[in-house]
Amino acid sequence: MHSPRTDRILHQFLNARLADGSLADLTVTEGRFRAITPAAKAATPPPGAIDLAGKLVLPGFVEGHIHLDTSFYGDAWRPHIPCTTGFDVRERVAFQMQNLAQAAPMEERAKNQLELCIGHGSLAMRSHVMVDGVVGLKHVETILAVREHYRELIGIQLVAFPQSGILSSPGTAELLDEALKLGCDLVGGLDPASFDRDVKGHLDVVFGLAEKRGVGVDIHLHDAGTLGLFEIEEIAARTTALGMQGKVAVSHAYALGDISADTLARAGEMLAASGVAIMSNAPGNHAFPPVAALRKAGVTVFAGSDNIRDSWWPYGDGDMLNRANMIGYRSGFYEDRELEAAWDVASHAGAKALGLEGYGIAVGAKADFVALKAEHVPEAVVAVPRERTVYRGGRAIARDGAMIG
């Protein structure tokens, strides 16, 4: 992760509403909160201070799972092509290659998507980037350059993602290693059972590279039911064995939505003990990990947009506050504490899963925040106000969805 531009200028914000409902004045220097004090409501505010007038202040949203290399957002509309029969990852990857061959340059598409996300308030992100025998390291090289270009605006972690499998796509293990050397922060994986047909072989490569390069792991796992659960058990066991607690995530983990309450309780204990985080985008017509039960068990559950208008589906708006709404809506979260939990998944829990330093509205934390009109977090989650100002290190960088300057 890169640091935001340190900015020696003093920024003062008056009458910020905190999550507890109180009003506070915020002082920022060198990109961090230096003081958070009860609102003074002075008759003559200090010159240059910005009056937030009771707007709710939330830490920058954490986009925990996105694909910067494959979206067509801002490019021409590409109608979704259905699989011949049912859902087939290999066929979808083939459609993706066809679509990408006709698309606008990747750099441009990635920038469109990044500005969509930043404009809504995401200031930290984990993006998977495709690595395989066909595209080699081309996607990684492009997205590394895009990350560099945006480093003052958003912190981006990159996962070297074996989109075509590891054992299925010869040379991929070496390419993943090369991607980590180039600057990827984590090594990815993809359905070790259903895609590569070899759980042990796939995980040997993934965890072998993680150990060799000292990086984290984030594995795409769509496999359902007991098969998916078996793979999660294997991932948790390897995480514990390597002392990688807190550095491993399973994305999607649909299996956790399929199993009985008893089995889930055991899985939750195992995930909490091994420090393996679970990422979900709260899919629309698919079982997904039970957010409340997993959180109660002590599991870090975080969220991401996943695909945004790409070859996998046409949905996605890059708004992690709207994602919190969907997490809540799909989970049957109605009470205030539940709506707060939905928000936590898109913010603090994401920061924990990504291992972010200096996250939150707190003295010493990075002054990366979003101001919007809501009385409190539950209202923000149900209303999803579109009017927002996004601050990076205390500097306004986006307003109402559009980048400033």
Residue selected from 8, 44, 285, 402 as contacting a second copy according to rule CB under 8 A: 285
Binding region for a second copy (CB under 8 A) out of 7-15, 150-158, 197-205, 382-390 = 382-390
Please indicate whether residue 252 is annotated as part of the active site: yes
Phi, psi for 366 (deg, rounded to 5): -65, 140
To which H or E segment does residue 390 belong? Answer: strand 388-392
d(CA 346, CA 219): 19
Residue selected from 136, 141, 329, 399 as contacting a second copy according to rule CB under 8 A: 329
Helices (H), ranges, 275-367 = 291-296, 320-331, 336-345, 348-354
Contact between 230 and a second copy (CB under 8 A)?
no
Q: Which is nearer to a second copy, 282 or 356 (CB)?
A: 282
d(CA 369, CA 389): 8
Spatial neighbors of 204 by CB under 8 A, at least 6 apart, are none
Q: Which residues, numbered 136-195, are part of the site for a second copy (CB under 8 A)?
A: none
d(CA 269, CA 299): 8
Residue selected from 2, 5, 80, 212 as contacting a second copy according to rule CB under 8 A: 80
| DSSP calls for 139-167 | HHHHHHHHHHHTTTT-EEEEEEE-TT-SS
Count of CB atoms situated within 10 Å of the CB of 37: 10
Contact between 331 and a second copy (CB under 8 A)?
yes
Q: Which is nearer to a second copy, 135 or 339 (CB)?
A: 339
Query: At its nearest, how many Å lie between a second copy and the CB of residue 210?
Result: 34
Query: At its nearest, how many Å lie between a second copy and the CB of residue 80?
Result: 4
The mark string for 301-320 relative to a second copy (x by CB under 8 A, - otherwise) is --------x---xxxxx---
Q: Which is nearer to a second copy, 34 or 286 (CB)?
A: 286
Contact between 324 and a second copy (CB under 8 A)?
no
Binding region for a second copy (CB under 8 A) out of 48-56, 228-236, 298-306, 329-337 = 329-337
From the candidates 252, 286, 348, 376, give the one annotated as an active-site residue. 252
| Angle value at C-alpha 325, between 320 and 327, nearest 5 degrees | 90
Q: Dihedral of the CA atoms 321, 383, 59, 130 (nearest 10)?
A: 10
Residues paired with 398 in a beta bridge: 390, 403
Residue selected from 242, 379, 396, 399 as contacting a second copy according to rule CB under 8 A: 379
Q: Which is nearer to a second copy, 13 or 312 (CB)?
A: 312
Query: At its nearest, how many Å lie between a second copy and the CB of residue 17?
Result: 13
Q: Are 325 and 347 in contact (CB under 8 A)?
A: no
Contact between 336 and a second copy (CB under 8 A)?
yes
Count of CB atoms situated within 10 Å of the CB of 292: 14
Q: Which is nearer to a second copy, 37 or 87 (CB)?
A: 87
Known catalytic residues are 252
Footprint of a second copy (CB under 8 A): 77, 79-82, 284-286, 309, 313-317, 325-326, 328-332, 334-336, 339, 375-376, 378-379, 382-384, 386
